[in-house]
Every structure is written in C-alpha cells, then in structure tokens.
Amino acid sequence: MNSQHTECDSRLDDGLLTRLPEQRWQLPAPLPALQASELQASEPQAGGTQAADPLKALAALGLPPELLAVLRRRGFCSAAAITDLLDPPAAPDPQQHFQDLGVAVERLALACGRGEALAICGDYDADGMTSTALLVGVLERLGARPVAAIPSRQEDGYGLNTAMVERLAGDGIRLLVTVDNGIAAADALNRARALQVDVILTDHHTIPPEPPPYLALLHPAITPEGSPYRGLAGVGLAYVLAVALAERLNRADATGMALDLFCIGTIADMAPLHGVNRRWLQDGLCRLQGSALPGLQALQRLAGLGERPLDATAVAFQIAPRINAVGRLGDPQLVVDLLTTADLDSAMELAQQCEALNRQRRELCDAIEAEAVALVEADGPERSPFLLLAQSHWHHGVIGVVAARLVERFGAPVAMLAGEGNGLLRASVRAPKGFAVDAALRACHDLLERHGGHPAAGGFTVRAENVASLHDALSAIASGNATPLGGGLPVEPEARLALDRIDRPFWLCLQRLEPFGAGHETPVFWSQQCRVVEQRSLRGGHLQLVLEQNGIRQRAIAWRWQGEGTVPAMVDVAYRLRLNHWQGEERLQLEVVGLRESGGGEVLLQRRQRSYWCRVEAEELRIRNASGEEMGIPLHETNVQGERHPYVQGLIDEASLALGLVA
C-alpha cells in the first residue's frame, strides 16, 4: 500500500502557517486477519511442551502482539526462527569456513615466536581503526612487534599503496596484515611480492575479477554459502584471526579486549546483525560498559554515558562518531594509540583530542549543510532527481556525512563534491533505498577518473569539465528509477501501537530483540489520532512534543525538525521507542521519524495511482473514490475472503490496516 501524505497546510487559531516536512508514508502490508488477537489470547500448553498450533507456539515466546507483528513482517514466522534471533547459536569452527585461516595463523605464530616486526595496514574509518587496534593489541601480548600503518585520508586516500609497501619494507618489515582493505590494491601487492614481503589480507570489500597475490586471504565472500561468517566487517575478520592465533598459542588471555573492539567496529561499520555478528554482539555489548580498555572508558566518560550498560544505539551515536571524527579530520594513529594504551592518564588525554576533533567535525558539517541546503533551495521547488552539489572549499572528510543528511532531508540521491586540485573534484555519494549508487557510477564510468562503493554509498573523482555531463547522466538514471525518489524519505512504520501499550514491560520485551542495527533495525511504530498537548522548540533545531491518545500522554522528540510554524492539533506519528536518561531519571520517549496531520478519522490511501478516502462510521468501513462514489462494508465482514474481486479485497485490507482495525 502506498498511503501518502504530502505537504499539509492549515491555519491554526494563532494564525501561524503550519508546514510539515515532506513525507511519503508507506504503511506495511496487512497481516492475515485476527492472527494478532489470537496470539494475544493464546497460552502455552501445560507441561512446557511446544504447542502444536504455530500461533500458540509464537505466543509462548512471551512477546506482545505488536512485536510479533514486526517480526512476522520481517520474515520471522516461526517460533524456531524467533528463538534463534533472541538467542543466536554459537559460532562454528572458523577453520571450516576460512580456507586460508590455518596458513595465516601459522605465519603469525612464527612472527610471535621470534618477536618479529610486522605492520597492520588499516583504514581510516572506525572499522579500519578498531581492526588495527585489535590486532596491534593482541599481537603485542603474544610477543610480536606490530606497528600500525594507516594512510591519511587527505594525503594518501583509501587503502594500501605502493609507497607504503616500499617504506615498510625499507624499515625491515617482512610481513603485512591488511584489515578492512587490500583486496583491490593490486599494484601494492605486486610490489610486496617483488620485495619478498608476505601479505595476509583480511578484507570484506568486493573481490576483483583477478585477485592480487597474497599469502593468505580471509574474506567473508569466499566462505561457504549460508555461512554465519558472511556478514563480517573488517573488525570481525580481525577478531577471527586474533582468536584463532591465541588458541594456537594457548593464550586465550591475550584476547580479553578483542570482543570490545569487535562490538565498536561492527556497529560503526553498519555490518548486518545476523550470523556470528549477532551472537558476538550479544556476548560483548553487555560487558562493554566495564571494558578493561582505558581508552574506551575515557570515551564513555566524555560522551556522558554514565554507569549504565551500553547498547548498540549508544555505540552508534556516542562512541563511533568520536572515533570516526579522527579518521575524517586527523591522524588515525591517535585512535590506535587510544585503544591500545594501558595508561589511564594517557587514555583521557587522547580521548580529549578525539572529542575536540568531533566538535570540529560537527561544526564543519553544520556549516557545509547550511551551504548545501541553500544551493538546493536556490533551484526552486522543481529540484533535480539527483542532487549534485560542488564547492571547492568543502572538506573531503565530512562531505559524506552531509550527503547523508541531505538524503534524509530531500529523499533523493546526493553527491557532494570538493576540490582536489589539478582540475579534479572528489565526491561522496549517498542515496535512499531503491537507488543503487554502485550501479549508477558504473553506468557513468566513462565520465569518471575513479569510482567505487556499494548500493547505499560510494565515491568518485571527476574532472571539472565533466561535472555537468555527469549530473545529466545521474539525473537521467534517477528519473528512470523504478522506486519513486524525492519528496522526502518514506516513512515506513511496521506495526500500530497505542500509546497506552507503552510501558516498562513492553520496553523490556523490545529489549529482548536487541541488538538493533543494519539488517535488524529498531522497529518503527505508528500511533493515530494523537492530540498535541504541548510543543516546544529546543536548541539545535529539535522539537519536543507531548502527545495524548485516549487519555494517555507520552513525550516525543523530533530531532533536527524541518517543519515550520506549529504542529497541527491532531497528528499521526511514526516513531522509535527510546529510554531517555536525564538528570538521573529514566523515562520512555517517542523518537519521531514521521508526522502527519490526522484526517479527523479519515485516511487517504493511494493505490495504483488512484486515491481513496477511508473512515469508520456506524460499524461500517466506508471507502470513497475520487468521483465521490462510496461503498460501505460492515466491520465484521471486512475479512471475508474469496467473495470479492482481489483488488477490492486488497483495498479493504489496506484501509483496515490504515484505520487500525487490524495489526
């Protein structure tokens, strides 16, 4: 169903013009009728045996029907599948999944045994820096003499390069271990072979058609089909290697800090939260607050996280940005030093440097975003389907962050270009779901000097004289995209939730579904016909609301609010549920992701480019088309299957969902 609510204008009593942010509401497909109510009423069989009825088996899991609806819509349709989500199986023997792991472990064991100097060649993002720190820390404990070698974002660009190999070889290094890069560094690896330098590659980026030379390769794409290791980021591969090496040397004590860094890097890199990622995050997040690493303790103190356990959200929005800021604006060695030092005073000093760079990063992002928004709005309401914005003075390290903000604001793919010198511009690209960045850049390769990426994000370098042609080509691709773009990001709630259902027991059930992240996002709920009791603008451009539904009030926060004027008196709200900590008090809060004016009990559906207005009146579901024709269906007959045309029944199902008659 495409239930769309575009820009709403209405005059309120105070005379202010209300302009809500541009949104495209997309409610989920209806679940089979009555199943949610059956689940709520079902009880497990006596004696603890599994119920023969699959609905009763699901109910026996103890999850509320709204959360079961979310899981069923995500494909978890059996008690066994949900049980594996709640308590993932242990990781299998990695030796059976990585064919070169034994070779890599033996070479590293040799280096540890003879105190050999070796280089850990990482990347300047959080995944690469935590991977580097993990291996440096473990290898030092095991007797080797590792050095970190991470290129500069500004001076060297991404990944292992020939100059690095030659410099390290000149320093007597005869073993390189790459983390989060290396698989595409053909020139550098060929040079390493010529200089008789062994290379162990650990990388999760695309394998080229002709792989470069190496001693051993750990890559999730070459694990067996269906392997739980398929979703590992760079830090996950480093963790596999470190644990296997410690076991080979009977030194399990050497990896005590490795799981902490795995958690940080995996969440920061938005690796999919299934398979071993999910198992290890569940094992590691619960102990992260008490990490023995002074550097992580210092970061938590500066982030104001207090003494409470950390979850994936705290890592993603409090810890990871402070690490990423260093790679964007400073020297990545700072993070490696922070995460490997054993000295508390040094850790705090290094963490304060990270904090300063993070403040600088926020200020740069805000300034560049303001410029970029002004450029977009200068073009008027008829915007290009692909936003390409260029300013020579923009900072390469933060344009990706700003591009992501603009995608959220305008709902269109965005390329932000900054000057690189010699007539070249370097770009970061971000896009909403439905637009494949990597495919679009491949289609324009003849206009580009370099490019790379994946469906949601990428980058390229282009000559200044080709920018206009490139913009035309990318706009043509966006215009022909199968998924409608622009007009704001879609608001896609997964289950309807009444405000009176939000309480501590519901929150604890929601926590059973943690950790949330890529591939298993925090659920988005929606509540209808909420009265706006209070609204207040907060510093930083945020909006705070108090909403009331059926006599129950809940506080809500809309971060980076883009609306104008006051909010309508009655709204439908889409949100994530958060536990807010403030001045020692905990309270549940709605984190708003979508807001639209309620239609006075009537909702608008757009189905196959046709509009329908739906409401409940006198125990009937009433549906009216654009011609004014109206049909009424008694509520108890809305679920009668097989007696109506499929299009009509589909419309009834969608109207029932939108009006809250079914889950």
Domain segments of the chain as ranges: 96-356, 379-486, 603-658
Looking at the DSSP assignment, which residues form a beta bridge with residue 620? 617, 634
Alpha-helix runs per DSSP H in 202-257? 234-248
Mean pLDDT computed over every residue of the chain: 87
State the pLDDT confidence band at 42, using cuts at 50, 70 and 90: very low
Q: Where are the beta strands (DSSP E) in 473-551?
A: 490-491, 495-496, 525-538, 542-549
Residue 584's pLDDT band (cuts 50, 70, 90): low
Q: 10 Å Cβ neighbour count for 303?
A: 19
The strand pairing partners of 557, in sequence order, are: 544, 591
pLDDT given for residue 36 in this prediction: 43
* Torsions phi, psi for 452 (to 5 deg): -175, 170
Percent pLDDT > 90 in the chain is 61
Whether 207 shows a pLDDT value over 70: the answer reads yes
pLDDT at 230 over 70: yes
**pLDDT at residue 9 tops 70:** no
d(CA 528, CA 571): 7
Confidence of residue 60 (pLDDT cuts 50, 70, 90): confident
pLDDT class of 450 with cuts at 50, 70, 90: confident
Residues 122/152, Cβ–Cβ less than 8 Å:
no
Going 641 to 642 to 643 to 647, the CA torsion angle's sign is positive
Rounded CA-CA distance 211/71 in Å is: 40
Helix residue ranges, H only, 249-343? 258-268, 276-288, 294-303, 312-314, 320-329, 333-340
pLDDT at 392: 92
Fold held by 379-486: Diaminopimelate Epimerase; Chain A, domain 1 (3.10.310)
Residue 380 has pLDDT above 90, yes or no: no
Sequence letter at residue 119: A
pLDDT average, residue stretch 595-600? 79
End-to-end CA distance of the chain: 14
Identity at 110, one-letter amino acid code = L
Cβ atoms of residues 603 and 571 within 8 Å: no
Residue 180: helix, strand or coil by DSSP?
coil
Highest-scoring range by mean pLDDT, 178-192, 239-253, 603-617 = 239-253
Stretch 324-346: mean pLDDT, rounded? 93
Instruction: Please say if the pLDDT value at position 482 is more than 80.
Output: no
CB neighbours of residue 334 within 10 Å: 18
Taking the C-alpha atoms of residue 379 and residue 412, their distance in angstroms, rounded to an integer, is: 15
Q: φ and ψ at 28, to 5 degrees?
A: -75, 165
Q: Is the model's pLDDT at 571 over the cut of 60?
A: yes
- The pLDDT of residue 240 is above 90: yes
Report the 10 Å Cβ neighbour count for 641.
10
Q: What is the CATH number of domain 96-356?
A: 3.90.1640.30
Q: Which tens digits make up the pLDDT trace of 387-416?
A: 999 999 999 889 999 999 999 888 899 999
pLDDT for 280? 97
Six-digit token string for 281: 């995050």
Residue 342's pLDDT is 94
Shared fold status for 96-356 and 379-486: no
Token output for 487: 């007009």
User: What pLDDT band is residue 13 in, cutting at 50, 70 and 90?
Assistant: very low
Q: What is the mean pLDDT of residues 14-37?
A: 60
pLDDT tens-place string over residues 544-563: 999 999 999 999 999 888 77
